[in-house]
Structure 1
Amino acid sequence: MTTPDDAGTPDWNDTTATLRDLFAKKDAAGDVQAAEPELTTFEPGGPVAVVDADAVLEADGRDAAAQDEPAESPISVNGTPEPGADDLLTASPVTETSSPDEGAVSVAPVEPAVVEPPPPSTPPAAPVAAVTPETTGTPPAPAGVSDDLEEEVYALSAPVSGPVVGDVLDGYHLNEELGRGWFIASPVGSGPSVDVYARPEPLWATAQAHRALPRFTRSGALHVLEPVGGEPVAAPLAVPTALASLRELTQLLFALERQGLVVVDLDPDAPRVTPQGVRLRFPPRLARVGDVPQVAVREGITPPEVLAGQPADPRSGVAVLGALLYRWLTGRILPPEGASDAVLGAMTVGGVPQLLRGMLGPPEERLTPAGVLATLKTLTAPPLPAYHVAAATDVGLNPERPTNEDSYGFTWRQLGLHGAAELVLRACVSDGMGGMAAGEVASAAAVRGFLGSERSTLTEMVWDANAAVLTAMAGRDGGCTISGVELRGAALHLGHVGDTRAYLRQGGAVRQLSRDHSYVAAMVASGQMTPEEAQVSPERNKVLRSLGSLRVPQENYVQTLDEPLTLVSGDRVLLVSDGVWGEVPDAELFPLLDTLPVQELVDRLIALALASGAPDNATALVIERVR
């Protein structure tokens, strides 16, 4: 090789001859390797640069396609063809002898490749100088290695399968794709657009009908949903509204669990608020318990164990609803790391952060559908009602009645326990029967027996009062009437025997709950006496049923309500003896029951009875729900 000329450009013929030189080396085991061809250039006073031979071949105008063509006479080492020898150039047959300890290497003659010089307009040295360290400032790339960074975009090799927008399938024209197999479609003839599912038989189509699931019909391969209507659930929601919607969807989870099915995906926009409750526009994606579901990931919805490829469990559906509840309450998508303590702690309704933590925790710690329903029952239970109770009694003005034979009483038991709050208010008025010995003993025993009964029904409580009267009287002639009520939370129950009365003021109207078990009441019921005649009849104090007159309970002897009545704030229950209702007509009593405060009411009723002469003992007890 010659040195560069005065212009610093190497002689082209020498460069070509250098490319044709072949070198071979022998490794320590005696094997022969063909050396990579190298091109060396020298700059005056500078270092030696090594240039890739392929770069020179491209620079001198050689056709790139020709590089891939096999050489006419392949190079052989020791008579064996060497792969890739078509890329090597030789000027003439060469034999090179190495040092004595390395042995001799023989290279077979090869026909020289013809390399045309570059066009005169292209400086031949430019490609060589472009890779020298002095020009680029970086070391050259090793032979056969490219430092070019290129990105090639490959077209999808899998063809699009399945129906697409514009197709007509089983009598429906697919108008809009909603993803995951769903389309908005319209009948080919005429009719409103509907949602259709255009994939093979889905698992949700095998589930039993449920009020939260959309109804569907089959049209060939399509599943055509009936329109649900209603409005989408718009977040954020008030906590009571969100929990009420969650309860209905959790009941769906519970029903699916009994069928061995699990919810693994749900469109957040599927729930609709309808007059019939929450219903889904699109059914959820289901899996069988124990199967590994294959689902498309939905941000903020897909349970972590489903993402991890673990078997489906009923708790997976709880995680889906937990993510939905998080969105309803916060208006945000559940982040991948889950609900933070900061976000949960910012909620202002007690029990809600704990519910979300229980629904979004690890699968082994997560609530089951039944556990969610139990928690919701506690969270959504109405607060215990509050009542005011007032009572008064008076012996009356009859000189022949020195003893007040009326008795009343009430007990109030209230428990504040987690998941087991309880309020029971029991009250009664009893009237000892006039003319009989020790009527006050009978009425007092009846009140104690009724209030102290551990029975669960009002009928049984009244018979316990009857037993107490028999015991107290010890064979003496005596008895009493009773009107008793029990409030269990807001539910009103009644037990009644005789002619004491129970009234209810509700919704601005007053009505009598009890029926008089008396002679005049039977006469009025049979049409032999008018109510006005009964009011002044001398027989009006004769009763047909009383406590203490029977030792064996009789069926239908005790009057009860067909169904408990629910009291709301402002409702009142009034219990009175005949010494009050007999002297204060309904036309005067009802307005008072509707207007006066409870303590003022009972005092006013006693005063009116006294003003009317009070021939009998007078007792009144009123209960008002104030919250």
Structure 2
Amino acid sequence: MTEFPDPPVAAPDTVIDGIELAPAEPPLSAEPALPAALSLPALDIQFADAACAEQSPGAVLDDLEEEVYAITVPDASPQEGDMVAGARLGQDLGRGWFVAADPAGDGPGLLYVRPAPGWADLAPHRLLPRWTALDGAYLVPDTAGEPVTGPLPAAEALPLWTELARLVFALEKQGYALTDLEPGGLLRTAGSELRLRFPPRVARIGEEIEPLLREGYTPPEVQSGGPAQAVSGVYLLGAVLYCWLSGQPLPPEGASALTLSGLRAPGLPQLLHRALAPAAERLTPTALMDALRQLGRTPAASYRVAAATTVGLNVDRPLNEDAFGHHLRQIDAEGAQVTCLRACVADGMGGMAAGEVASRAAVEGFLASTAPDMVGWVWEANAALLQALNGQDGGCAFSGVQIEGQSLQLGHVGDTRAYHASDGEVRQLTQDHSYVAAMVANGMMTPEDAASSPERNKVLRSLGSVRQPQEYYVQTLDAPLALVPGARVLLVSDGVWGEVPEQALRDLLLTEPDTQQVVDALIDLALDAGAPDNATALLIERVR
């Protein structure tokens, strides 16, 4: 390959082959020089450079300077040290609140210096502080107490939170929505009652509200503004409860189902999920109160029953003419709680041909009765007894009870007995329908004489001795008896109370924790005393 030399480059003002060349033109890529009269100001060039820098990643300019301009309009809002409505402003607490001395000299208080707060028109509520309107301000006495902070056990947080829910409910009834409150102003007083140090921010339902933000507490619809809604207060309360239970503010993105489930307080994760839901799906204040009532319902009353019976030691009594029975129906389901216990003891009439038939029939008739009340249940027991005897001679003394929830009703005829033990006291619920009891009541016999009287087994009333219901024949209670947890009801035949010393019976009811041990011990004591009669004891205890 033949190599050719590079052509010579002509320099300016060079003559080649007798021809003078003109100066070389600048390259096309070069920027033409501008006349001095058309040059750009330096400031404009700097901005152009800055624009280029923005278009060139990594370019850093140091030729821009920031200048902070001084505020030329003075701040007209009240400041610490100012006098407002005759009170000197102390510490600025924010959002229009100052610590201030009461102009009347009644001690320190809180002064609100912004105009026309919505809470000034609220009806009094026990959680709200009282306020006094001054000239251009509102004075609130400062509440003493400790701020409620978490984490708190659910059993401690829920009663306090319920009080807040009642406030939101009351606000809705007045036509107001809760839009903001000071979490640090939720105080627990010396009496462990909840109080608000500051009145809450409220707005009339349906009115446009100014957007605001308190991180971790403000409902989304309040952050964006718009018409005030009652459900906004429910969201705010949900954020408060979440903080109380977890010890942490509500995350900006809200609480996930997994986070709520970690609270380990059955019922509250579900409640918080509904309280913190979007506004269209959120609980209303009324629905919140219903949910709290459902959550706070006490477990269904629970009862324990123990019984024992013996024929005794009397050779003339080959059969046990006593009978007892009970049945319990209990339902504890969502929206339904039912506890119904029916129990009875019957003492067949001694010396009659069919006492054991009479007592058994009375028990079965009482337990199966569908009559509307206690008196009707006992008379249906009487009818069952008469039908079972079918003309034979027989009858029984009878004591029966029905417990619905915590309320006890009693039906009694004859000389069986019912005792109630509660709060360290034992009292007899029944009256003996017997000859010696009538003599004692009329002052013709002492209780000591009645206990040893040969007439003590004579009864004046019994089932089977009358065929038609008679008014006032069946003893009942004037009002249902409320049974508290730990209360006991003892039903016994006269073979127990007639042989066991009264004090021993009472001591067993009050001191022996095992219900079966109580009835077994009563039977043993009756046997130790000779057990001349059949002896039966049935004990009911409310355990929850």
User: What interval of TM-score do these two structures reach, taking the shorter chain for normalisation?
Assistant: 0.7 to 0.9
Q: Is the 8 A contact 2:408 2:483 kept in 1?
A: no
Given the superposition, is the C-alpha separation of residues 213 and 51 from structure 1 closer, same or farther in structure 2, using an over 3 Å criterion? farther
Change (3 A) 1:201 1:413: same
Q: 1:251 to 1:438 in 2, by over 3 A?
A: farther
The Cα shift of 1:449 comes to 4.0
Other-structure match for 2:382 = 469
Q: CA deviation at 1:360?
A: 0.4
Measure the CA separation in 2 of the matches of 1:590 and 1:334: 57
Matches within 5 A, 1:50-449: 50=34, 149=64, 151=66, 153=68, 160-161=75-76, 163-188=78-103, 190-274=105-189, 275=191, 277-294=193-210, 296-384=212-300, 386-434=302-350, 438-449=354-365
Within the candidate set 551, 574, 578, 2:490 is matched to: 574
Partner of 2:456: 540
DSSP 3-state at the match of 1:560: coil
SS of corresponding position for 1:354: helix
Go from structure 1 to structure 2 and tell me whether the alpha carbon gap of 1:579 and 1:324 turns closer, same or farther (over 3 Å shift).
same
Give the structure 2 partner of residue 48 of structure 1. 32
Match of 2:477 in 1: 560
CA distance in 2, matches of 1:157, 1:473: 106
Contact map agreement 1:262 1:317 (CA 8 A) in 2: yes
How far off its partner does 1:581 sit?
0.8
| Structure 1 gap segments, 5+ residues each | 1-41, 60-127
**Paired residue total:** 504
- Kept in 2: contact 1:441–1:473 (CA 8 A): no
The AA in structure 2 aligned to 1:617 is N
Q: Structure 1's 154 and 484: CA in aligned 2 closer, same or farther, altered over 3 A?
A: farther
Q: Report deviation, 1:375.
A: 2.8
Distance 1:298 1:366, change over 3 A: same
Q: Does 1:617 align with 2:530?
A: no
Q: Which residue of 2 aligns with 1:103?
A: none
Give the drift of 1:391: 0.7
Give, as a single letter, the amino acid of the residue that structure 2 aligns with 1:328.
Answer: W
Contact 1:263–1:316, Cα closer than 8 Å, also in 2:
yes
Shift of 1:322: 0.5
- Once the two structures are superposed, what CA deviation does each residue of 1:392-430 show, in whole Å capped at 9, x if it has no partner? 122334455454332211212232423434433332223
Larger relative contact order (C-alpha < 8 A, sep ≥ 6)?
2
Aligned partners of 1:409 and 1:427 also within 8 Å? yes
TM-score of the aligned structures, taking structure 1 as reference length = 0.70
Partner of 1:599: 516
Quickly say closer, same or farther: Cα 1:262–1:58, change in 2 above 3 A.
Answer: closer
Decide whether aligned partners of structure 1 residues 619 and 249 sit closer, same or farther in structure 2, where only a CA change above 3 A counts. Answer: same
Question: Taking structure 1 as reference, are residues 370 and 428 closer, same or farther at Cα in structure 2, changes over 3 Å only?
Answer: farther
Tell me, yes or no, if the aligned pair for 2:385 and 2:395 is still in contact at 8 Å: no
Match of 2:13 in 1: none
Q: CA deviation at 1:580?
A: 0.6
1:588 pairs with 488, 504, 511, which one? 504
Cα deviation digits, residues 542-592 of structure 1 (max 9, x gap) = 4555556484574795432746434335x4332212221111011222233
Q: Aligned pair in 2 of structure 1 residues 528, 195: CA closer, same or farther (>3 Å)? A: farther
2:458 and 2:35 map into 1 onto residues whose CA distance is: 131
Distance 1:443 1:318, change over 3 A: farther
| Structure 1 letter corresponding to 2:333 | L
After superposition, the Cα gap between the structure-2 partners of 1:291 and 1:618, relative to the gap in structure 1 and judged at 3 Å, is same
1:534 Cα deviation from its structure 2 partner: 2.9
Q: Residue type of the partner of 1:172?
A: A
TM-superposed deviation, 1:625: 4.3
Write the distance in 2 (CA, Å) between the matches of 1:565 and 1:472: 30
1:326 is displaced (CA, Å) by 0.8
Per the TM alignment, residue 385 of structure 1 is displaced from its structure 2 partner at its CA by 5.3
Check conservation: 2:212, 2:223, Cα contact below 8 A: no
The offset of 1:434, in angstroms, is 4.4
TM-score, with length taken from structure 2 = 0.79
Gaps of 5+ in 2: 1-25, 56-60
